[in-house]
């Protein structure tokens, strides 16, 4: 006895199949890695933890590669948004210290240390994930650039 072809159920697949266009190339992964790590380099070169140098590197890489590499576009925006958020926190802590005539430094220094360590840890995690081809999302980030 034969079975009509339309009644045959296909075998189950082993998870979602990804096409080669979903996987970033090695060059895209490298540039995404640079987009995240350029924040570290920017802060070292400019000598500021919460200065403009932290988001200057991701900005340049994102502007140069956003049209030709979709993965770098995504990760560059993510690194840029995170570092802008960190700069805003740094400015807020600085203003807190100024507005309280220096008394706010009691809060600003410990909060600044915690934010600085978190910034360093999350930046390194993001760089590793980007190098693996994973679209990393920073926690506690304002999504200003879409």
CB 69 within 8 A of CB 34: no
pLDDT in tens, the chain (146 residues): 555 556 555 555 444 444 445 789 999 999 999 999 999 888 877 765 555 678 888 999 999 999 999 999 999 999 999 999 998 998 999 999 999 998 999 999 999 999 999 999 999 999 999 999 999 999 999 999 88
What Rg, from alpha-carbon coordinates, does the chain have?
22
Q: Let me know if residue 31 belongs to a domain.
A: yes
- Structural domain tally of the chain? 1
Q: Let me know if residue 88 belongs to a domain.
A: yes
d(CA 140, CA 119): 11
Q: Let me know if residue 115 belongs to a domain.
A: yes
Q: What's the pTM value of the predicted model, to 2 decimals?
A: 0.79
Q: Let me know if residue 118 belongs to a domain.
A: yes
Domain that holds residue 73: 25-131
CB 46 within 8 A of CB 34: no
Q: Let me know if residue 35 belongs to a domain.
A: yes
Give the angle 105-122-75 at the CA atoms, nearest 5°.
125
d(CA 64, CA 69): 10
Largest CA distance in the chain: 91
DSSP letter string, 80-139: HHHHHHHHHHHHHHHHHHHHTTTTTHHHHHHHHHHHHHHHHHHHHHHHHHHHTT-----T
Q: Let me know if residue 76 belongs to a domain.
A: yes
Q: Let me know if residue 58 belongs to a domain.
A: yes
d(CA 61, CA 12): 42
Q: Let me know if residue 142 belongs to a domain.
A: no
């Amino acid at each position: 006895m034969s079975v009509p072809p339309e009644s045959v159920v296909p075998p189950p697949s082993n998870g979602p199949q990804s096409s080669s266009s979903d996987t970033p190339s090695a060059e895209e992964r490298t540039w995404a890695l640079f987009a995240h790590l350029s924040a570290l380099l920017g802060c070292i070169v400019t000598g500021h933890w919460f200065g403009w140098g932290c988001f200057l590197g991701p900005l340049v890489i994102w502007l140069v590669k956003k049209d030709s590499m979709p993965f770098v576009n995504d990760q560059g925006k993510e690194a840029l948004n995170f570092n802008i958020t960190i700069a805003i926190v740094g400015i807020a802590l600085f203003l807190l210290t100024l507005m309280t005539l220096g008394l706010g430094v009691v809060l600003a220094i410990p909060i600044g240390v915690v934010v600085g360590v978190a910034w360093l840890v999350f930046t390194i995690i993001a760089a590793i994930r980007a190098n693996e081809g994973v679209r990393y999302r920073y926690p506690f980030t304002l999504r200003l650039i879409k």
